[in-house]
Amino acid sequence: MALMSQSSYLLRFWRSANSEEWRVTLVNIEPDASEQHFTTVDDLLTYLRHSYLPSPSGTNFSTPPDPQEPCPDP
């Protein structure tokens, strides 16, 4: 039987003032409890897209990439 692979996160949207862009904090709720910060919602979506969706070559990422590293071009 194959084991299911999953990741669980707490997602926090925040901004300092109503006139500012929304910022996002993604907290891994696994034992390491790492936080990843994004300055835009688009940055978060790009990270998730590159982390969990198949690439054009059909390869899935086995673990999410480091958010500090630039995402590869599609």
Q: What are the pLDDT digits (tens) for 34-46?
A: 899 999 999 999 9
In the chain, how many domains are there?
1
| pLDDT, tens digit (0-9, with 9 covering 90-100), for 7-26 | 889 999 999 999 998 999 99
| Helix ranges (DSSP H) in 1-74 | 41-52
Give the burial class of 72: count Cβ atoms within 10 A of its Cβ; 0-12 exposed, 13-18 middle, 19 or more buried: exposed
What the block records as the tokens of 35 is 């936080």
In a domain, 13, yes or no: yes
Domain extent at residue 48: 9-52
Contact 22, 41 (CB under 8 A): yes
In a domain, 32, yes or no: yes
In a domain, 24, yes or no: yes
- What is residue 11's predicted lDDT score, i.e. its pLDDT? 93
Position 72 in a domain: no
Burial of 43 (0-12, 13-18, 19+ CB in 10 A): middle
Structural domain contains residue 31? yes
Distance CA 15, CA 58 (A): 37
